[in-house]
Chain A
C-alpha cells in the first residue's frame, strides 16, 4: 500500500534520513521505533509531504506521493496525527472534528461522526467543550478522531503515547486496535515507547541515526535483545536491569 524506497531527507546540513526503505501492506499496523532524533517523525513528515525529501521514492497505492502538497496527500487518504496532538484549543470538540472533515463531502459527516463517537465515547460526552481544556489523553483521542473524520486509508500516528499516563496509553492503543478491526484502517505508527508499539503492531522497523537498522515481525523484534540498546541507548546502561523491567511492565 505504502512503499518508501531509498528515501533521504535533511534539515540544512543535518541528515535526518539516509536511504530509508519500508513497506506497509493494506490492513497492517507497522511501527517505526527508535531513539530521540533517529528520524522517526521526519519519515512520517516526508510521507505526508510536510517535509520535502531529498531523494528516493514514496508510492501510495502505486502512485507517486512525493512532491505533492500536504493537502493533496490528505485528499489521497493519507492522514497524519501530528506529534504533540495539536488539537485546536479554541475550537470545541465538535468543531475540531468538523475541521477534520474539511476535505470530505457533507453527506458523509454524520455517519463518520457517529463512528468516531462510538470509538471514543468520551468525545461524545465532551463535544461542546473547548479542546484546549481537555486532558492530554482526551486531546489525543480527539486528534485521532479528527484524523478519522477525513476517512484515512492510511493513518500516520506520531508518538500517540507522548506525555500520557500508562493507563491512558493502554486505552489509546486499544482504540487503535479497534480502529483497524472496525474501520479497516492501515496504520503507520511512530513511537518511542517501543514495547507498547511492538505489542500492537504486526511488523516493526528500527531507525537509528536516520537509517533502518532492523526490521521484522513485531513479536520477533520484541524478543531481540539488541533492540533494547538501539532505542534505549544510554538510559539502559544507567538504570539497573531490574528497575528497567518493572518500569516497562508499568508502561504496558
Chain B
C-alpha cells in the first residue's frame, strides 16, 4: 500500500536520524574542548528528553500540560535522595526515579484528564504550582530553596566514575538516543495513530471503540516518566540544586521547546530544547525582559509557523534543495 510504504520510508529515515545523532554525540563528546559548550549541550540534551515526553503528550495526543516541572522535580529529588541517603547505585536510582515520576503522573492523570483544552492547562498549571510549593516547603526532605540539595555523589556505572562533564555528555547522549528511539517507535505504531486520532477528535475516537481514557493516561504517564528521567539526570549532573529550578518557568519552557521545535515531529523537541537552552545566554544583558522576549517568540512562532520553527526551517531547507536539484 502506498501510504504505508511512505510511512515505512519515513521510519527508515528517522532511524537514520537516530544513528546520525549517536555519531554526533560520539564526535561531539570527543572533540568539543570548551567545557562551557559541553555543559550547554548536556543541559539541552536533558531538557530534550523531558521535551520529548511533552511532545508525546502535546504534539501527538493533543493534551496540554503546564505542570511538567513537577515530574522533573520528582525525578531529580528521588534520584538525589536515593544517591545521598540510601546509597543506591546511580543507574538504579535513575531508573527508579523515572518509574516514580511515571507512577506519580499515572496517579494524577486520571482526575486531571477529565478536563480538556484551557481547563486542562489551568489544572496542570495549578498542579505544577502546588508541587513547586511542596518542593520548597518540605525542607526536611528537599532542603527547600536554601540550601536545597547539596553534594549529590557523581554518576557512575559499575564502579566507573562518570561524573565529569565529558562522561555525562555521553551518558545524556545515550539517554537521549534511547528516548528518541522510543518516541519514534511510538509515533509509527498503532498506539501512536490512536493518539493522533485522539488529538483530532476525542468523540470520534471513542466512537470507534477506542478506550480514550486509557490512551490519554498512557501518554500522560510516559510524559511524566520522561520528565522524571530528565530530572534524575539533571540531579546527577548538577549535584547541587534547589527547589527554584522546578518552578512554573520550567514547565513553560518545556512547552515552549515543543511549540518552537515542532508539534508534528519528535526531532523538533531536540531543536526546541537547544534553542530554549542557548537563547538565554544571548539575552544575559536583558534578564528582566526574558519573559517578554519568550512571549514575543512564542506569539510569532504560533502565528507564522504553526507547525513550529524547527519544522519551518526543515521545510525551507527541503524546498531550497529541491529547487537546486531540479533546475
**B-contacting residues of A (Cβ < 8 Å)?**
48, 50, 69-71, 73-75, 79-80, 82, 86-96, 98-100, 102-103, 127-128, 132, 143, 146, 150
What DSSP secondary structure best describes chain A's contact surface?
mixed
A74 near B207: Cβ-Cβ < 8 Å? yes
* 21 contacts across the A-B interface (CB closer than 8 A): A48-B207, A71-B209, A71-B210, A74-B209, A82-B204, A88-B197, A90-B264, A91-B197, A91-B200, A94-B1, A94-B4, A96-B197, A99-B194, A102-B208, A102-B209, A103-B208, A127-B2, A127-B3, A128-B6, A150-B208, A150-B209
Most buried by B among A48, A99, A128, A143: A99
Shortest CB distance B116–A (Å) = 15
- A74, A88, A93: the one contacting B200 at CB < 8 Å is A88
Tally of A-B Cβ pairs under 8 angstroms: 82
Contact B196 A90 (CB under 8 A): yes
Chain A residues in 8 Å Cβ range of B108? none
Residues of B close to A99: CB separation below 8 A = 193-194, 197, 205, 208, 210
Give the interface size bracket for B toward A. Answer: 20 to 34
Q: Mark B177-208, 1 if CB is under 8 A from A, else 0.
A: 00000000000000001101101110111111
* Across the A-B interface, the 7 shortest Cβ-Cβ residue pairs: A74-B209, A88-B200, A86-B204, A103-B209, A71-B209, A94-B3, A86-B201
| Residues of B close to A94: CB separation below 8 A | 1, 3-4
- Which residue of chain B has its CB nearest to the CB of A76? B209
Q: Is the CB of A50 within 8 A of B207?
A: yes
Q: What per-residue 1/0 map shows which CB atoms of B198-226 lie under 8 Å from chain A?
A: 01110111111111000000000000000
Q: Are B2 and A128 in contact (CB under 8 A)?
A: yes
Query: Which of B193, B209, B211 is close to A98, meaning CB atoms less than 8 Å apart?
Result: B193
B200 near A71 (CB under 8 angstroms)? no
